[in-house]
């Protein structure tokens, strides 16, 4: 077991934003292994977020991001349970990060349940034709299609996209980390992304709590 030093605790805290005692306990459980301790904290964060996911989020903040050159802009509404949490630096950092992420990653929906049946049918048709053109055996084409649909979700659903500032976690993971740290449910309500020259701005996407 590696020695659990103050420096090791600080490293884990810097990576995860978890509290000092939580980091120390996670490192003890992981026998001093930094990567395993990070996994422990993420699992705890997800469990904490799941317990809070049904709680109402009526407070929050609207964040904006304007890309240098003023050709691209984003407005996003992030909700939480109390005005107190909405004013914290951690929550405001999340709002800024998500606005910037939306500008960079161009999601179309907040969560996968918003993807329409018509869109999914079209993506499945494309995936089926592609698999046949690649000469894949018929018996595995359905499995290939569902795998590519999962990949499509990762590309267009905000909560399932890799976070642009830390690609090892998803946006949903990032939100769950904040839920665990701040002790309140947090949800993405809606966003709109606008780019100069587009004939129509993207439709605002809406969702409730990250689950």
Domain that holds residue 144: 116-154
Residue 85 covered by a domain: yes
Q: Reply yes or no on whether the pLDDT at 179 is more than 70.
A: yes
Q: Reply yes or no on whether the pLDDT at 32 is more than 90.
A: no
Res. 138 pLDDT band, cuts 50 70 90: confident
Res. 207 pLDDT band, cuts 50 70 90: very low
Indicate if 94 and 168 belong to the same structural domain.
yes
Q: What's the mean pLDDT in 133-152?
A: 88
CATH number at 173 reads 3.30.479.20
pTM: 0.68
Indicate if 44 and 72 belong to the same structural domain.
no
Indicate if 64 and 107 belong to the same structural domain.
yes
Which of 4-18, 74-88, 167-181: highest mean pLDDT? Answer: 74-88
Indicate if 85 and 15 belong to the same structural domain.
no
Q: Reply yes or no on whether the pLDDT at 172 is more than 70.
A: yes
pLDDT value at residue 120 = 92
Indicate if 192 and 94 belong to the same structural domain.
yes
Indicate if 125 and 163 belong to the same structural domain.
no
pLDDT value at residue 21 = 72
Indicate if 168 and 123 belong to the same structural domain.
no
Tell me how crowded residue 203 is: count the other CB atoms within 10 A of its CB: 13
CB 58 within 8 A of CB 79: yes
Residues 6+ apart with CB under 8 A from 160: 111, 112, 153, 154, 170, 171, 172
Indicate if 150 and 164 belong to the same structural domain.
no
Res. 80 pLDDT band, cuts 50 70 90: very high
Indicate if 90 and 121 belong to the same structural domain.
no
Res. 211 pLDDT band, cuts 50 70 90: very low
Indicate if 149 and 168 belong to the same structural domain.
no
Res. 110 pLDDT band, cuts 50 70 90: very high
Indicate if 80 and 92 belong to the same structural domain.
yes
Indicate if 24 and 88 belong to the same structural domain.
no
pLDDT over 90 for what percent of the chain? 45
Which of 28-42, 83-97, 193-207 bottoms out in mean pLDDT, i.e. has the lowest? 193-207
Res. 38 pLDDT band, cuts 50 70 90: confident
- Tell me the pLDDT of the chain averaged across its residues: 84
């Amino acid at each position: 077991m590696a020695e659990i030093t103050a420096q090791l605790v600080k490293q884990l805290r810097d990576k995860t934003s978890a509290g000092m005692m939580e980091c120390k306990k996670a490192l003890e459980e992981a026998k001093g292994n930094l990567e395993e301790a990070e996994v422990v904290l993420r699992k705890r964060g997800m469990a904490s977020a799941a317990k809070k996911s049904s709680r109402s989020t009526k407070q929050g903040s609207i964040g904006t991001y304007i890309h240098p050159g003023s050709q691209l802009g984003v407005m996003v509404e992030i909700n939480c349970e109390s005005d107190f949490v909405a004013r914290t630096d951690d929550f405001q950092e999340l709002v800024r990060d998500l606005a910037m992420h939306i500008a960079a990653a161009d999601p179309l929906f907040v969560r996968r349940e918003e993807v329409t049946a018509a869109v999914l049918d079209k993506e499945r048709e494309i995936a089926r034709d592609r698999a046949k053109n690649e000469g894949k055996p018929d018996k595995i084409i359905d499995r290939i299609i569902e795998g590519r649909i999962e990949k499509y979700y990762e590309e267009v659903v905000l909560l399932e996209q890799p976070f642009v500032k830390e690609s090892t976690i998803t946006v949903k993971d990032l939100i769950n980390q904040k839920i665990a740290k701040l002790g309140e449910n947090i949800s993405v309500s809606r966003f709109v992304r606008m780019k100069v020259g587009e004939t129509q701005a993207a439709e605002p996407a809406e969702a409730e709590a990250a689950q």
